[in-house]
Amino acid sequence: MAVICPTVTTLTQKDYRESIERISDFAERIHIDFADGYFAPSKLMPIDEVWWPVGMVVDFHIMYKEPLAYIEDIIVQQPHLVIIHAESENVGEFLDEMHSLGIKLGLALLKETPVSTIEKYLPKLDHVLVFSGDLGHYGGNVNFELLDKVIQLHELKPNIEIGWDGGINDETAGRLVEGGVDVLNVGGFIQKNQDPESAYDTLLASINVREKTK
């Protein structure tokens, strides 16, 4: 069954706390964005300053040019899943070190990056994130042509978990699930809604209907 992951994309501790509090009553799994101001244009909350309620499942999406330099900070936080970008530096070395520690790993693909770029890494990967958004910001549009990447990934590794980031709302979520997406990382549709839990429930209803008709 597909999963809705509210996204946390914040610059300050105050905004981070408010964002977490907005979703903590209903979210079971969340997606925290990190950006270094180089790989992504904006600089977000640093890895060593985030926290979350006990029992919440947390994925890290690390939009850093050099994620290898932050391995110690990541290990201390013990997230459920760590996603770095295929376009960042020293990808292979990062994956090798984290894989040796038994940490779940994912790679994110920007719109223009082909699946072939990460094929050699697939044996170590638990997750691939298809990125249809704008680095370091809520929003973006769903480019349904990127669902071709989902098809390719399932052909190469049928059991891999596929995530999607960018443009998810009540009109696009169902089609993404039909296209094979397992994890819907949702930013503005939930975080900017006056009733975040209602928005979350709307998405759940949308994907549940689509899954029943698959």
Residue-wise pLDDT for 133-174, tens only, equals: 767 555 578 999 999 999 999 999 999 999 999 999 999 999
Q: What is the pLDDT of residue 102?
A: 87
Instruction: Report which residue type is found at 126.
Output: D
Q: Which residues contact 22 (CB under 8 A, 6 or more apart)?
A: 190, 191, 196
Question: Can you read off the two tokens belonging to residue 38?
Answer: 């180089």
Share of the chain above pLDDT 70, in %: 94
pLDDT at residue 186, rounded to an integer? 96
Residue 210 confidence (pLDDT) above 90: no
- Secondary structure letter of residue 87 according to DSSP: T
Question: In this predicted structure, what is the pLDDT of residue 209?
Answer: 64
Residue 32 has pLDDT above 90, yes or no: yes
Averaged pLDDT for residues 26-33: 97
Torsion sign over Cα 109, 205, 34, 90: negative
- For residue 112, what pLDDT is reported? 94
What is the domain partition of the chain in residue ranges? 3-213
With contact defined as beta carbons under 8 Å apart, do 50 and 77 qualify? yes
Residue 41, pLDDT score: 87
The rounded distance, in Å, linking the Cα atoms of 127 and 160 is: 6
Residue 1: Cβ-neighbour burial (10 angstroms; 0-12, 13-18, 19+): exposed
Pick the CATH number of 3-213 from 1.10.10.60, 3.40.50.720, 1.20.1250.20, 3.20.20.70: 3.20.20.70
Using the predicted structure, report yes or no on whether residue 110 has a pLDDT greater than 60: yes
Widest distance between CA atoms in the chain: 45
Whether the per-residue pLDDT at 213 is higher than 80: the answer is no
Q: How many CB atoms lie within 10 A of CB 173?
A: 26
pLDDT at 118: 98
Residue 124 has pLDDT above 60, yes or no: yes
126 has a pLDDT exceeding 90: yes
The CA dihedral of 74, 79, 83, 89, to the nearest 10 degrees, is 10
Tell me the average pLDDT of the chain.
93
By the 8 A CB rule, do 48 and 76 touch? yes
Q: How far apart are CA 92 and CA 120, in angstroms?
A: 9
For residue 1, pLDDT beyond 90: no
**Tens of pLDDT, residues 92-102:** 999 999 999 98
| Per-residue confidence (pLDDT) for residue 138, from 0 to 100 | 55
Residue 208 has a pLDDT of 82
Predicted confidence (pLDDT) per residue in 38-59, tens digit = 998 889 999 999 999 999 999 9
The percent of residues in the chain predicted with pLDDT above 90, rounded, is 87
